[in-house]
Amino acid sequence: MLRNFKVCIIATRQPPESPFSKGGLRKSLLIKGARGLFLTDICRIAKVAAKGILIYGLVAVCLFMAGCQTTTNIESNTIKPIPESFANAKDSTNSATIDWRQFFSDTTLIGLIDTALKNNLDVLMALQKIEMARADLRLRKGALLPEISGGGSVAQRRFGRYTMDGAGNRETEITPGHMVPDDLPDYYVGLQTTWEMDIWGKLRNKKKAAFARYLGSIEGKNIVHTNLISEIAITYYELLSLDTELEIIRETIKLQENALSIVTIQKQAAAANELAVQQFEAQLLNSRALEVEVLQRTTISENRINYLLGRFPQPIIRKKSILPKEIPAQVKVGIPSDLLENRPDIKHAEFELMATKADVKSAKKAFYPSFNITGTMGFQAFNTSYLFRSPESIAYTAIGSLTVPIINRSAIQAQFKTAQAKQIEALYNYQKTIINGYIEVYNEMNNIKNLEQAYNLTTKKATALTQSIEISSELFKTGRANYLEVLITQQNALQSKLELVSTKQQQFNASVNIYKALGGGWR
């Protein structure tokens, strides 16, 4: 249990014409006239408090100096400097500053994102986190000011006869000709106040930490916006890719059905055998199964978008092919230091680091003496008919206290060490977030370059294999190619077309990912 050294300075005033004015009761401070009463009392309280603080000041300073000997400030590890460029890129223009409505040209996609930003549950939760952080900031600001509350009380008291108060009351007239009764009523209406004087800045540092976390909550909302926009865009392009795959599969099914009809006729004419018929039919069934699989994946992707939009399943109206669509304009990465301003996760980590630094300062101030002022002021009387008489029924109490921890400070030390550890953790997290942001941009830059080459090669491959389908079919009809060559050609052509669609989708994804990695999407 924490023990404190405590100095209290107390000033009280009771109603001069109450039963507490004689005998064993406390003597009241009599001031003639109601005018100037409050100002005189306040000045008197201030003088008493100042005198007491001066008397015990040296003792308190010595004690708090002894209490702070074990606390030392940690030295933050040096943040690793961020590279000056991305892979020797010299363009200082940064595409992260482009509004997402200008970055994406598809009006359907823009409409989906607009709906999501209004209805997405993660966005709505992020807004509530901002409100919680704002409320905490108001709480910390309010802690710097005196707390004043109003109230009243009704009491019935009886003093023992063989006590100082009881013996004195038996000789005291409560009103002329009436002695103080054994059962004494007490009515009080007034104000109460408490105030911790933030001399060392403990409360101000708590306010700074709350303000930093409030700013961090705003960046948290921006993180949600960025992730939401990129996820909707990627899922939307996946949906278009699945639509294109479905078209390719269905076109292939028609070709395979035609080939099956031909080989069936050839079998009837004894130009082909049952094995060829079974092979063509198996290939057709495989393509139909692939069609069902793509339809299921399409349903999942549609409902993923519906979930992100905060609504129940419904069709997503869209254009059905991804191949004719143009990839967003080449993203310009700028310089790495732009990440510190554009990426909301880095800014969030920075604000959390600022908050933990303020927490450490506040935890250190807990070793210092704390100064508290508490008081009450109002009307007090034994009868309601006398309650609001001024100045006779005016009463106040003022207490100034100085508290210094001396023995068993392990709880304060534990809080201080915890704050230090959290600060170091926030420092490492800040460094990790910066490195992660740089690597994400670097990876996507190379990914875009490699995907462009892969798309060109896959396009040539798909074109060659598509042409080979017609050639193999003609050769098969004339008997110059067997059915296995036709089957292999059709299967390879289907796979190459699906690869082409997948590569196109990856190009769109890479464009979205690098835009997100640069910190775009939340403006």
Sheet holding 183-197, edge to edge: 3-13, 394-407, 370-381, 183-197, 147-158
Alpha-carbon distance of 202 to 363, in angstroms, equals 7
161 with 250, same domain?
Answer: no
Find out whether 345 and 363 touch, Cβ atoms under 8 Å. no
Res 175: pLDDT: 77
309 with 403, same domain?
Answer: no
**Band (11; pLDDT cuts 50, 70, 90):** low
Residue 452's contacts (CB-CB under 8 Å, 6 or more residues apart) are 507
Give the mean model confidence (pLDDT) for residues 83-109: 85
Residue-wise pLDDT for 295-327, tens only, equals 999 999 999 999 999 999 999 998 878 888 888
pLDDT higher than 90, residue 99: yes
Q: Could you give phi then psi for residue 393, rounded to 5 degrees? A: -95, 5
511 or 74, higher pLDDT? 511
Tokens of 362: 């506040």
Say how many C-beta atoms besides its own lie within 10 A of residue 112's C-beta.
24
Res 24: pLDDT: 35
Least confident of 177-186, 376-385, 393-402: 177-186
Q: How far is CA 23 from CA 19, 28, 29, 383, in A?
A: 9, 12, 15, 20
**Band (95; pLDDT cuts 50, 70, 90):** confident
Find out whether 507 and 448 touch, Cβ atoms under 8 Å. yes
Nearest C-alpha neighbor of 424 from the set 29, 56, 79: 79
Give the mean model confidence (pLDDT) for residues 146-175: 87
Tokens of 267: 């079998």
Nearest C-alpha neighbor of 306 from the set 131, 143, 112: 112
Alpha-carbon distance of 483 to 486, in angstroms, equals 5
Residue-wise pLDDT for 15-59, tens only, equals 544 433 333 333 333 333 333 444 455 455 445 555 554 545 544
What is the residue type of 494?
L
376 with 516, same domain?
Answer: no
| Mean of all residue pLDDT scores within the chain | 85
Res 184: pLDDT: 86
342 with 206, same domain?
Answer: yes
135 with 167, same domain?
Answer: no
Tokens of 294: 């793509």
Last residue in a domain, options 380, 408, 436: 408
What is the residue type of 489?
T
Give the mean model confidence (pLDDT) for residues 490-500: 94
Give the mean model confidence (pLDDT) for residues 165-192: 85
Residue-wise pLDDT for 222-256, tens only, equals 999 999 999 999 999 999 999 999 999 999 999 99
Res 41: pLDDT: 52
Res 81: pLDDT: 85
278 with 375, same domain?
Answer: no
Give the mean model confidence (pLDDT) for residues 411-439: 95
420 with 378, same domain?
Answer: no
289 with 390, same domain?
Answer: no
**Band (65; pLDDT cuts 50, 70, 90):** low
**Band (443; pLDDT cuts 50, 70, 90):** very high
What would the DSSP string read from start to end of 448-459? HHHHHHHHHHHH
Q: Residue 407 belongs to what H/E stretch? A: strand 394-407
DSSP code, position 153: E
Query: Residue 150 sits in a domain of what CATH number?
Result: 2.20.200.10
Domain that includes residue 34, residue range = 1-67+145-196+368-408
- The count of domains in the chain is 2
Last residue in a domain, options 408, 440, 469: 408
Find out whether 384 and 187 touch, Cβ atoms under 8 Å. yes
1 with 56, same domain?
Answer: yes
Alpha-carbon distance of 169 to 161, in angstroms, equals 9
Question: Given the structure tokens 């363009």, which residue do they identify?
Answer: 91
Alpha-carbon distance of 443 to 434, in angstroms, equals 14
Query: Residue 499 sits in a domain of what CATH number?
Result: 1.20.1600.10
pLDDT higher than 60, residue 128: yes
Give the mean model confidence (pLDDT) for residues 447-468: 93
74 or 229, higher pLDDT? 229
Q: Could you give phi then psi for residue 392, rounded to 5 degrees? A: -60, -40
4 with 117, same domain?
Answer: no
Residue 189's contacts (CB-CB under 8 Å, 6 or more residues apart) are 151, 152, 378, 379, 380, 387
328 or 115, higher pLDDT? 115
Alpha-carbon distance of 184 to 155, in angstroms, equals 8
Give percent of the chain above pLDDT 90: 61
**Band (13; pLDDT cuts 50, 70, 90):** low
Q: How far is CA 352 from CA 74, 129, 208, 521, in A?
A: 17, 15, 11, 22
Alpha-carbon distance of 178 to 170, in angstroms, equals 11
Alpha-carbon distance of 224 to 228, in angstroms, equals 6
Tokens of 334: 């700028």
Alpha-carbon distance of 70 to 68, in angstroms, equals 5
Last residue in a domain, options 378, 408, 438: 408
Alpha-carbon distance of 229 to 116, in angstroms, equals 8
84 with 226, same domain?
Answer: yes
Q: Write out the E strands in 134-273.
A: 147-158, 173-175, 178-179, 183-197
The residues with which 175 forms a beta bridge, in sequence order, are 178
Nearest C-alpha neighbor of 425 from the set 366, 367, 360: 360
236 with 356, same domain?
Answer: yes
pTM of the model: 0.82
